[in-house]
Structure 1
Amino acid sequence: MDRPMVDEERGTLPPSKSQLKREAAELQRLGEALVALSPARRAGVPMPDSLREAVELAARIRQRGGRRRQLQYIGKLMRTIDTAPIRAALEAFERQGAEESARFHRLERWRDRLLEEGDAALEELLRLSPGADRQRLRALIRQARAERLRGGAPKAARALFRLLRELPDLG
């Protein structure tokens, strides 16, 4: 009967073939995430030059077969390096995107409150952001309400959102 090879130092079994395949697939998915990044974000990810060149090439390849082979090559390169800094950078980008999205939604809610509630919401906003331009906010709220009643394009509502986005105390 065949006995599995035991690592003498640790007294454990080596990883199974299935486990090795799962790890290789995970590294390939990590490579796909790198390829999907914009060039500017990709430049901020710490990685060896050989991996960076392979990722840049994969981003340029459009043929499915060639791209698949290049992604497999990226996975192979990643098996020889520590992927923790790459994972950390990707997680930071993900968190940053989630924070931006949450701030965007908070600003949308403020815009909607200002249009629905009027002065009560405006006073609360001015308490939170004392440097806000009360006169400009009131004018935009009035214009946005008029546009909504006319059924026109929400030009003033967009301008109101941009003004809210510039306020540092909101979000």
Structure 2
Amino acid sequence: MTEMWQDEPDFEPKSKTQLKNEMHELQQLGVKLVDMGQGALDKIPMAPELRDAVMLARRINRKKEGFRRQLQLIGKMMRHTDVEPIREALDVLENKHKQQVKQHHHLEQLRDDIIAQGDDVINQVVAEHPALERQKLRQLSRQANKEKLADKPPKSSRELFQYLKGELE
């Protein structure tokens, strides 16, 4: 058997420690699946057998030996399946807040650009998002600039942000 490996110069068999670490990592992924709520679990793409094993682990008392064995079974099942879609779905669920913050900052930057640069940016935004009303954007931009010059509260700037948020999300 080692003769086959000698033919491939780049092939290095994994060490026992690497294999154990991968198994523990898959078990931890299984624990995350078991700990998830039902709604979030339904969004994770996985084989029906794996889903059944996760559901069984949720019903087992965590202080019993059976729970540990069930987690090992889940880890074993995951070794034979493609776990990348599961990891990606978990990543999306876990980073939902970061994505919302990123979207919020993008809208703030867009609003600031519209107020600062006016018609040039408005034309670009309307070209990218035809659902937006050019006249409303221009009106809110002019009002925001007037408020800024008069040192008034940024009411129109807030309205512009809320309009963008409502239309673009």
TM-score normalised by L of structure 2: 0.58
Unaligned runs of 5+ in 1: 1-6, 167-171
* Superposition pairs of residues 34-53 of structure 1, within 5 angstroms: 34-35=33-34, 37=36, 39-44=38-43, 45-47=45-47, 48=49, 49-53=51-55
Residue 159 of structure 1 and its aligned partner are, at CA, apart by 1.0
Deviations 1:135-157 (A, max 9, x none): 22233334555389434676414
Provide the identity percentage.
23
Residue 133 of structure 1 and its aligned partner are, at CA, apart by 0.9
Partner amino acid for 1:23? E
Structure number with the higher helix fraction is 2
* Superposition pairs of residues 1-171 of structure 1, within 5 angstroms: 16-35=15-34, 37=36, 39-44=38-43, 45-47=45-47, 48=49, 49-54=51-56, 56=58, 66=63, 70=67, 73-81=70-78, 82-84=80-82, 86-92=83-89, 94=91, 104=103, 105-142=105-142, 144-145=144-145, 146=147, 149-151=151-153, 155-166=158-169
Does the residue aligned with 2:46 lie in a helix, a strand or coil?
A: coil
TM-score normalised by L of structure 1: 0.58
Name the CA distance, whole Å, in 2 between partners of 1:43 and 1:116.
45
8 Å Cα contact 1:24/1:76 also seen in 2: no
Name the CA distance, whole Å, in 2 between partners of 1:30 and 1:111.
40
Residue 53 of structure 1 and its aligned partner are, at CA, apart by 1.0
Residue 123 of structure 1 and its aligned partner are, at CA, apart by 2.1
Give the aligned length: 151
Does the residue aligned with 2:77 lie in a helix, a strand or coil?
A: coil
